[in-house]
A and B are shown apart, each in its own frame.
Chain A
Amino acid sequence: MSELLAGPALLPLLISLPLLGALGSVLLHQRWPVLIAVILNLVLAGLLLSATQQATLRYSLGGWVAPLGIALHADTLGAMMVGITALVGVFVSWYSLDYFVAGSTAERGFWPLWGLLLTALNTLFLSGDAFNLYVGLEILSLSAVALVTLASRLEAIQAALRYLLVSLMGSLCYLLGVALLYHAYATLDLAMLAQLSGDGMLERAALALMIAGLLLKTALFPLHFWLPQAHAGAPAPVSALLSALVLKATFYLILRLWFDTLAQAATQLGALLLGLLGCAAILWGSLQALRAPRLKLLVAYSTVAQIGYLFALFPLLSDPRVASAAFDSALYFILAHACAKGAMFLAAGNVMTAAGHDRIADLGGIGAISATTLFALAIAGVSLIGLPPTGGFIAKWLLLQSALQIGAWWLAGVVLIGSLLAAAYIFRVLALGFTIFESPPVAAVGATSTRTPNATIASGRQWSALALALAALALGFLATPVLGLFDAGELTG
């Protein structure tokens, strides 16, 4: 049993467990199978993190070695992704316990779909097979789209449909790239492809197709057009999952393909282009967040900007002088944004429940409604701006340091402007907490109604949001031990 939980056998378990939870949840119409799976998943993720410290894990499914069979694979980066997914997943599940009305259609749909989403996320982080990744992408996209439809409003359904079409387009581009690679090398195994593939025309075309497909799903500017409506229209815990985890999974695949599997076909010019698009995303997303009329829309546009930072790193990641620090920065952006954005969407959900809407102009006095929620918003916001002592600060610090070291002043400039803009849109939200009934809710609701909703936000919903925000804060203090778990050398070679 001990070797089952320490060695490569962990890999299939990490995918089976959430799937088993989802099946149990469909069969029994209960939420506990998925809840148990989510908690055990955190334990397994911890074991995986400690196991990958010794060696990279590899598991051939069915005993068939590649190229015939499918191999699962975990290095420290994959283990970190599984870990942050498990952590955010636990808090979002805690929040969801009180979010959905017990026995409602949305509640019965949420738990199985969340179990399947977790299955897909773990598959994408652990699979070492290009076609298996495609199947994982399909489950990821379909369950994400289905989760958005749980909001059941017309706008949410429309946004979900657009999300579905964009995701399908992305999947097909990715699949076409896989087909090209299989045609040339007769293998789908990523490790074998990394050894076989060169920098020919075919590899370039395959890489371009796969990256383009994944960029659509990761919503890099200007392919972000589907994101704001989908993320803002979904139920709050779903928005948190989509922004914190789903986008990171496709970004992780882009990192893998670009720097590992098809590293020889990747060019400096391509990295620079991605970097420029990232910079544009930072500026555009922040500006849109500044003028968003609704709170959840603001948070969604902030995600567009934060995704920009991940891609702004690409020119640095491709430069051997600073690659190692840049990878640390990329990892920290992923971790810090997962916690901070998850917390922010959960807190926004509380605000929306308390106020009955999320129009920023009419939200004065949210501090009186829930101090805990406001505190969560504040800490998460500080991390998103990148101020010390949060995880967001570490990520930006590492990014600025590497940019200045190789003289990429333009990049440093964009990051600083982005931080200023982020401060502006975050303070737009926080200022609401300190204005007391400047614009009281509509008179028809009644004079006392601003305080009565206080009781309607369950404490679990407030504490889970705060806990995630505190996790973003803790990442700032724990930078050295956390980065010590990650070996950037796996990708820099």
Chain B
Amino acid sequence: MAGTGAAGLKDATAVVGIGQTPFAKQLPDSEKTLACRAILAALDDAGISPAEVDALASYTMEETDEVEVAKAVGFGDLSFFSKVGFGGGGSCATVAHLASAVATGQATVGVAWRSRKRGSGPRPWKNTAVQLPTPAQWTRPFGLLRPADEIAMLTRRYLHEYGATRDHLFNVALACRNRANQNPAAMMYERPLTRDMYMTSRWISEPLCLFDNCLETDGALACVIVSAERARDCRQRPVYVHSAAQGLPAQHHGMVNYWNDDPLTGPAWTAARHLWKQADFTPEDVDVAQIYDAFTPLIPLSLEGYGFCGRGEGGAFTEGGALEIGGRLPLNTSGGGLSEAYVHGFNLINEGVKQLRGTSTAQVPGAATCLVTAGEGVPTSALLLRT
């Protein structure tokens, strides 16, 4: 099925296995143990032996390295391994890198994973000794300390420039929570959210409140990628990698993008251009979306970037139940980072696969196409999956 040139990746590979551990504020297992459990579960789901794995991909802030994972799980000889930069921006790129490796014959069975103890482990902004990348000298002394503060700064400007409101952000939080209330594996399964709870919750960084922020989670996930040909012999219905892209815009500055000429057009715009250029369908044809939601405002910004609406229209897009099941674009159907688990976006990949297998706890009837995105606001990546 693989062609040449830019179309070389299109449907040439498929996700054939997914696995995950429980999600909780605190799990007894180490990150390494959680990683091994998720990977073995994904391989078992695919019906593929660990000894057949010859490619790995992960993304930065992953503390379980390739050597440790390969040795513990019992992989074969590896001929491809890749670690993508920029934390949550790298989630979808892991699948993209493995798809490229498999499509070009560098490997035959690839595994991507994410393991985190963010719920019970340390957070970088709690440690005064840790200085995050280059721009820190221009921001942290002034008390712009946490990712929430950095995104809140963009959010205030976004609300000011386009007349978006906190109700729009609430629509995002509610859609994710409603889906989590359908998903027994979600941390917020039995915890409904109301507008009153949202509007009266404590501030984290004005204009962002508690419910605009993702969860702190312990847990791990993994998925398995093989060629489309091999996928036909696997246990599960193949979910094809239709298009994939990374995005690092010219003059981009990371989450503190205030030095860019246009800080409100983030990496999503760059990734989207490449993603759609290679696809056989358009945003109109997307049945369900899993959009990186470390913070609620990333959803309207991403809806604009990926072309679901015009610039400045992301807030209004969320009105009228558009993000709910039965709406224009059912969103984050496992509950996402806001309400299922914040595992640096990897749960969004696995949920995209479940939707296209028809096995989601909040199934969109007949879903055949799914957009999955990685963190917006940092150099990012995205996938179009299809049945």
- A, B: real partners: no
Q: Which residues of A contact B (CB under 8 A)?
A: none
Q: Which residues of B contact A (CB under 8 A)?
A: none
